[in-house]
Chains A and B, each alone.
Chain A
Amino acid sequence: MKHLIKLCSVLLAIMLVGCKAKTRQVETNADTVCDTLRYAKGFTVRTLDNGVRLVDVMDPQEWQRMVGDTLDADEDRMPVSYHFALVAKGDAADVPEGYVRVEVPVERTLVMTMLQLADFTALDAHDVVKGITGTKNLFNEDVRQRINDDQMVKIGMEGNFDTELILAAQPEVIFISPFKRGGYDAIKETGVTLIPHLGYKELTPLGQAEWVKFVGLFIGKEHEADSVFNGIEQRYNALKLKVDSLQLIDRPTVFSGEMHGGNWYAVGGKNTLAQIFRDAGARYVIDSDDTGGVHIEFEQMYALAANADYWRILNSFDGDFSYEALKASEPRNELFKAFRERKVIYCNMKQTPYYEKSPVMPDVVLSDLVAVFHPELMPADYEPTFYTLLR
């Protein structure tokens, strides 16, 4: 009898799942992009019978909290926060209720962050970008040239945009990162569709890079985006596999950040950075569930990281950074083992376009880190792009 009940419930479950899959099949068609979304948790794509693409955008961290690590989560429970229906230009197709109609491919847009710009750079689509927030620490020659030629405008920084410039740029949509300082109300008034680009909230480097597909969908370059991402994924996972094959028991430890104004600003143990350290065969000293930055007092950070093997620092420094400069900024820095043993992994944002490139180059960041943690896995003449061991 017991067995029968078990069998019944299993059958019932199978039927239910089957039904659900069926209903969805009726509603939507298989989609190339949808099928290939593997890492990004902040957006989903479905295609309706009439060719309309439905893009649902949500906070990837919220999603993670709700469903844990299981990828086959019940879609109804997802905290979907933004809905867009992508319709080909000139197509009069109806869009479902609750969805904002966006005509694609978008030909004029504005971007708000370097991370978003990186996606456009990866797709070779600077001509679509008609404005960015600012050019401070901007390296890309093409973008600089376009600003000089007035093909792109600087719309001012987040919080106080120049609405007139925005209107003059005639964007069809604007990519925003809505959880920052805001100031979007004024733009909203102008009637331009705002599209949240939440790539920076993803918890894995590949998830972050996969947002290139999101941008690709809107500007009609989804196939390019697919091949760009496939390359990234392939290289990243190949190297990660190599690291895994070491079957490390005793991983080198690493910590990150610098002391500022009496506190240490470090990233939590669930951050993208922590993940990429893990993938590179190291262990990040902070093991918290925090995803963003956390303020940590010096003595606590010191207790955690005093004997860590490596120290990752990313800053802007005029000239060549050195251990002397690091000590001068804070005398207590020399107490760390990584300082004494000259094991600082460093990237100078004044010399390297870190935020411009790294979002779509997690494979390269991983290679740089592996070259430091496990040099035997990399070719002897490996030239790092972002991070080098500080001499």
Chain B
Amino acid sequence: MKRFLLLLFLLVLIVLLFVLNLLLGTVRIPVGAVVSILVQPLSDLFGGVVQQQDALQWEIWSNIVWSSRVPQALTALVAGAGLAVSGLQMQTVFRNPLAGPSVLGISNGASLGVACVVLLSGSLGGVALSRLGYMGDVAMSVAAIIGSLAVMGLILWVASRVRGNVTLLIIGVMIGYLATAIIGVLKYFSAEEDIKAYVVWGLGSFARVSGDQMVLFVVLMAILLPLSMLTVKSMNVYLLGDAYARNLGLNIRRARFVLIVCSGTLVAIVTAYCGPIMFIGLAVPHLARALFRSSDHRVLMPATMLAGSALALLCSLIARMPGFEGALPVNSVTALVGAPVIASVLFRRRRSAAE
């Protein structure tokens, strides 16, 4: 019952944060205006007429809400959930609390893909992508997906050959280092403006997706997130350890394969659209465990998903607080805001457990 209430609370919190994300931004728009802009499609549908004082001002506000704030809030919502779930799956597979979406080098793969597009194309083809308008961001998304799926394929191939989890983990970390090393070499030989473009991508942002890309992203995540719930059962069994799990009839290798594919795909897609967003994937599962005091994945999965969304929305809100000139990089905000929150929750739980 208490857990149910907590879930409900998280849900309310998400709704609240989502609405705040629509209401607040660097441009001051009155609350009433935002509300009527949001209900406008509805009233249009029913033939109602919303009062408009200044058509020009109205159009600007309407465009800001619909093409900037709504996409950003939706992106943060699903990206946070995706990363958190992916982190939980990795932590379960490797039975390692320090595992996260980046641990298998999958996000490094995405970075490598983007680095290849941004940095290599400059020195090989003579095309400076830093100032490339056409398809620039789309090309980055595609490169990120290709990069991360390539690394994931490599990991899966290794996983089918290697028995031990620790070995797999270490190989994943090695692949990550390898990718980082190649990126370093690419950076070394690239022009300053290209490096800047790559660095900006690496800071992560919920704001760069809009239009059809955003719709595609949200739809993909809306399919993948419920699908990932199907892994709950095998994750619960997995927790018992290999021997017990096998005795309970779980095909360990297959379960591991499915979990890695699921987790990897989530990270690959989020990274492609938002850049490598650290921290949420690693920390939110701990937050969920501490809040719900459970290791049952039937509780943890939805809890992690909701907490991830809530944290991402909160960070997106703080990053765009009125008063800041531009949006702060999301990566910095997630850690700045998230680390104290999660540390304090864990600390309080440990202390009460000790008493």
Contacts and interface: CB of A to CB of B under 8 A. Distances in A.
Interface string B210-252: 1111000000000000000000000000000000000000000
Contact of A335 (B67, B188, B213): B67
Nearest to B327: A297
Nearest to A307: B56
Contacts of B135: 325, 328-329
Interface stretch (B82-90, B201-209, B303-311): B201-209
A300 interface: yes
Interface stretch (A120-128, A207-215, A312-320, A357-365): A312-320
A264 interface: yes
A335 B68 CA distance: 11
Interface residues of A, number: 44
A341 to B, nearest CB: 15
A298 B192 contact: no
B138 A328 contact: yes
A316 B27 contact: no
Contact of B200 (A261, A300, A321, A350): A261
Interface string B16-53: 00000000011100000000000000000000000000
Interface string A319-338: 00100011011111001000
Contacts of A307: 56, 60
A134 interface: yes
A176 to B, nearest CB: 15
Contact of A262 (B126, B128, B208): B208
Interface residues of B, number: 45
Interface in B122-156: 122-123, 126-128, 130-138
A3 interface: no
A107 interface: no
A296 B326 contact: yes
B60 A329 contact: no
A250 to B, nearest CB: 16
Contact of B133 (A180, A262, A317): A317
A133 to B, nearest CB: 10
A136 B131 CA distance: 14
Interface string B297-330: 0000000000000000000000010000111000
A261 B211 contact: no
Given A260-B197, A296-B326, A302-B63, 15 more contacts: A136-B126, A157-B191, A157-B192, A261-B275, A262-B208, A294-B326, A297-B325, A299-B25, A302-B68, A306-B59, A317-B133, A318-B127, A330-B133, A330-B210, A349-B128
